[in-house]
Amino acid sequence: MSTVKIGIIGGTGLNQPDLFTPDKPDEQVVTPFGDPSDTLQHGTIAGVPCVLLPRHGRGHTIHPSRVNFRANLWALKEAGCTHVLAATACGSLREEIKPGDFVTISSFIDRTYKREVTFHDGSCDGLPGILHLPMDEPFCKHTRALLQQACDAAGVKCHKEGVMVTIEGPRFSSVAESKMFRILGGDVINMTTVPEVVLARELGLCYASLAMATDYDCWRSSTEPVNVEVVMATMKSNAEKAVAVIKSAVELIAQHDWTEIIPSLKKSVTMNLMLPKC
């Protein structure tokens, strides 16, 4: 059995201090890509080493376009993390995905345009080469399956698949955009899954996302359009469930055999990296 260490990226409304037991002081780190969103919080869940990083900083001070996704993922990798469990609030684009439901995301539609989307960007600080990484399966299917098991154990309604539309933000969608995303095949919508999942894959991390539906965005005329008050109210009622799911998932991950899975993710990166010939 391979040793695991779990990075937990807390999203809107989920930076719970009781998520795990701290085992050393918070760590301030600097990466080649700048500062991460906050200090790294080290601790354990059921004896499994974990690192918690609030995506928007404690106090939610960083808006989506300014989250340093590269620094966040790099910091977790350098801290020794093998896995990343990412929590995110999202709007539902489907009638059957109700506010309060959870979704384990299986694919994405990228509608962002201001972000650094790769570590291999040709800059002096970037990693060498050009990485044409396949995205047919961006989320680790093994970690997703364990998240689903954790949801079932917690008695939480979980949709096993879902396409996440990631918009630039910080504004919410217009009605026309919301309806368009439904036509494109989106199931849920947020502002942070991309490029986070892509960067995690570039680093060979087993990444899965627990998306928590808070609203119906604005396509559904019979309900109140999305706003911050609605999002935060639903997140508050969901926080305990999300913590229970993540704790259970961490234990399940620690019991799983990753000896072939983790190297296969790293091999995928190596196989698709085009390095300059000297």
The values of phi and psi at residue 201, to 5°, are -65, -40
Q: Is 192 annotated as a binding residue?
A: yes
- 39 neighbors 15 (Cβ within 8 angstroms): no
| 217 belongs to the catalytic site | yes
Closest by CA position to 36, among listed 44, 27, 45: 27
Q: Is 56 marked within a binding site?
A: yes
> What distance in Å separates the CA atoms of residue 87 and residue 103, rounded to the nearest whole number?
10
Q: Is residue 217 part of an annotated ligand binding site?
A: yes
216 labelled binding-site residue? yes
Q: Is 272 exposed, middle or buried (0-12, 13-18, 19+ CB in 10 A)?
A: middle
Element (H, E) at 271: helix 261-271
Task: List C-alpha distances in Å: 230 to 82, 84, 100.
Answer: 34, 27, 11
Whether 187 is catalytic is no
Per annotation, catalytic residue among 26, 125, 215, 257: 215
Closest among 9, 254, 32, 15 to 143, alpha carbons compared: 254
Q: Which of 188, 258, 249 is nearest to 1 (CA)?
A: 258
Q: Of 18, 136, 217, 257, which residue is the catalytic one?
A: 217
Q: Which of 216, 244, 245, 242 minimizes the C-alpha distance to 231? A: 216
Is 55 annotated among the ligand-binding residues?
yes
The reply, when asked if residue 215 is annotated as ligand binding, is yes
- Tokens of residue 90, six digits: 């999202």
**Binding site residues for substrate, as ranges?**
191, 215-217
Which residue numbers belong to the known binding site for phosphate?
12, 55-56, 88-89, 192
- The residues carrying an active-site annotation are 215, 217
Q: Residues marked as binding? A: 12, 55-56, 88-89, 191-192, 215-217
